[in-house]
C-alpha cells in the first residue's frame, strides 16, 4: 500500500490537529483505507472522523454498524452514523445522494478539508463500463476522479491503484477485520452484474487491467480540463448575466458550443442537473440553429426562451402588468414617455393623430396581452400583435411590457413606434 500512502502525502497539506472524514462501511475496502489513514495519524496527529451509513436494507446492518462503532472506539476514531429511512424502491443513485449529503454535513461540522472514500480500481472499471453502455459525456466516460476538488473540500480516493484482490490480500496479511455485505452479489443491481460477469474476463486478459482503465480515465480528464480552460477564456464574453449571446456562441466550434450550453445549464440547475440529459442539450442546440427567431424550449421545471440573438431562462423576463389613463403624459415602467400634444410635424409611428370625436374616451396605456389583435391602417381585418412583433423583430423579453394604447372600449389604436390602427 505504499502507493496509497504516497498518494495521500502528495495530495494533502495536513497539519497537526486537522480533521479528515472517511466513508467507512466496515467492508474490506474501507477498513484497509482506514488502516492507511491510521498510519498517517502516527506521523501527523490528525483527527479521523468515521462517517458510517446504515442503509437499513438488510438485517445485518445493525451488527455492521456496531462493528464499525466498536472498532472506531478501540482506535480513537470519531464515530458518526446516519440511519436511512426505508425506501420502497432503493436505487444506487438514491444511495449515492444520501451518502454524500451526510458526508458534506460532517465536512462542515468538523471544518474538514478532505473526504476519503474507498473506491478502488475495480470500482473504476465498473463505473466506466456502465457509463459507456448507458451513454455519458467525456467526464462521465472517465468514471470518477482520484482527486475531486469541490467547493470547500476535496475527495481523495487512494485505493484506485489497487484491484479488489490486492486489497483483500492486504487485509488478510495485516489481519484487518471487516464485514461482508452479501447484497454486493445480488444480480438485480447493474454494477454487480458487471462485477460478476465482465470483470473476470478482463482480468483474465490482464490481471492489472484496472491500471489501464485508470490511465484511460486520467487521459479523458486531461482533455476535459483543457476544454474547461478554453471555455473559461470565452464564457464571460458569450454569457452575460446568464443570457447567452447567440451570435457570439455560434462562432465557436460545435464541441465548445455544447460544453458552454452544459456549463450554462449547470449554473442554473446546480444540484438538480441530474434532471438534464443529452436529449435536452440537443433540443437547445437545435433551437439555436433553427431559423425561427422566437422559440420556447421546455425543460424539467423550467423554460428557455430563444429570441433572435439571445437565449435565457424564462425567469429572467420581468413582467409587471400596468394600465394608466392617458391624459397629458404617461411615464412607462421602461422609462419611455407618451405625451399628448396638439400639434407635431412628425409622421412616423412614434406619433399618432387622433380625432377625439371618433374615439371612446378616455384613452389608456397598458402592457401587451397574449391574445391582443388590432386593425392596421390601410389593411382589412385584424392582425395579431404577436405576429406584428415577429415581423418587427421585437424580442420576446421586450414584448410582455410593451405599451399598447387602447380606447375605453378596449380597441387597440396604437403600438407606439410600430403600428397605428
pLDDT, tens digit (0-9, with 9 covering 90-100), for 156-165: 999 999 999 9
Q: What is the mean pLDDT of the chain?
A: 90
pLDDT, tens digit (0-9, with 9 covering 90-100), for 72-84: 999 999 999 999 8
pLDDT, tens digit (0-9, with 9 covering 90-100), for 101-134: 999 999 999 999 999 999 999 999 999 999 999 8
Lowest-pLDDT choice from 23-27, 201-205, 327-331: 327-331
Residue 149 has pLDDT above 60, yes or no: yes
Given this model, what pLDDT does residue 135 score? 83
Say how far apart CA 103 and CA 101 lie, in whole Å: 5
For residue 16, name the pLDDT band (cuts at 50, 70, 90): very high
Given this model, what pLDDT does residue 87 score? 65
Amino acid at each position: 500500500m505504499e502507493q496509497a500512502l504516497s498518494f495521500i502525502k502528495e495530495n494533502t497539506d495536513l497539519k497537526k490537529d486537522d480533521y479528515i472524514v472517511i466513508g467507512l462501511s466496515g467492508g474490506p475496502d474501507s477498513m484497509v483505507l482506514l488502516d492507511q489513514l491510521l498510519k498517517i495519524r502516527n506521523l501527523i496527529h490528525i483527527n479521523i472522523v468515521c462517517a458510517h451509513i446504515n442503509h437499513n436494507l438488510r438485517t445485518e446492518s445493525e451488527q455492521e454498524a456496531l462493528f464499525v462503532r466498536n472498532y472506531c472506539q478501540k482506535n480513537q476514531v470519531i464515530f458518526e452514523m446516519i440511519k436511512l429511512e426505508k425506501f420502497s424502491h432503493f436505487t444506487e443513485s438514491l444511495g449515492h445522494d444520501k451518502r454524500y449529503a451526510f458526508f458534506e454535513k460532517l465536512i462542515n461540522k468538523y471544518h474538514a478539508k478532505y473526504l476519503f472514500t474507498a473506491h478502488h480500481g475495480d470500482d473504476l472499471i465498473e463505473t466506466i463500463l456502465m457509463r459507456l453502455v448507458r451513454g455519458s459525456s467525456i467526464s462521465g466516460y472517465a468514471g470518477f476522479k482520484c482527486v475531486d476538488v469541490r467547493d470547500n473540500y476535496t475527495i481523495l480516493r487512494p485505493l484506485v491503484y489497487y484491484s479488489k484482490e490486492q486489497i483483500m490480500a492486504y487485509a488478510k496479511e495485516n489481519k484487518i477485520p471487516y464485514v461482508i455485505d452479501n447484497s454486493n452479489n445480488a444480480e438485480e443491481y447493474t454494477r454487480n452484474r458487471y462485477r460478476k460477469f465482465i470483470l473476470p474476463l478482463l482480468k483474465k486478459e490482464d490481471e492489472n487491467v484496472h491500471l489501464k482503465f485508470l490511465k484511460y480515465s486520467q487521459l479523458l480528464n486531461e482533455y476535459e480540463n483543457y476544454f474547461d480552460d478554453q471555455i473559461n477564456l470565452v464564457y464571460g464574453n458569450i454569457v452575460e448575466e446568464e443570457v447567452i449571446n447567440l451570435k457570439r456562441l455560434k462562432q465557436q466550434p460545435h464541441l465548445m458550443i455544447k460544453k458552454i450550453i452544459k456549463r450554462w445549464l449547470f449554473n442554473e440547475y446546480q444540484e438538480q442537473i441530474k434532471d438534464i440529459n443529452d436529449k435536452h442539450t440537443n433540443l437547445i442546440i437545435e433551437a439555436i440553429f433553427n431559423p425561427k427567431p422566437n422559440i420556447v424550449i421546455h425543460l424539467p421545471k423550467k423554460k428557455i426562451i430563444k429570441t433572435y440573438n439571445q437565449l435565457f431562462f424564462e425567469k429572467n423576463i420581468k413582467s409587471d402588468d400596468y394600465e394608466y389613463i392617458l391624459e397629458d403624459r404617461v411615464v412607462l415602467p421602461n422609462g419611455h414617455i407618451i405625451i399628448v400634444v396638439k400639434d407635431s410635424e412628425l409622421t412616423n409611428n412614434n406619433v399618432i393623430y387622433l380625432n377625439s370625436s371618433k374615439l371612446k374616451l378616455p384613452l389608456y396605456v397598458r402592457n401587451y396581452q397574449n391574445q391582443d389583435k388590432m386593425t392596421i391602417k390601410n389593411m382589412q381585418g385584424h392582425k395579431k400583435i404577436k405576429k406584428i412583433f415577429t415581423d418587427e423583430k421585437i424580442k420576446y423579453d421586450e414584448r410582455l411590457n410593451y405599451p399598447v394604447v387602447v380606447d375605453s372600449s378596449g380597441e387597440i389604436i396604437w403600438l407606439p413606434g410600430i403600428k397605428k390602427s
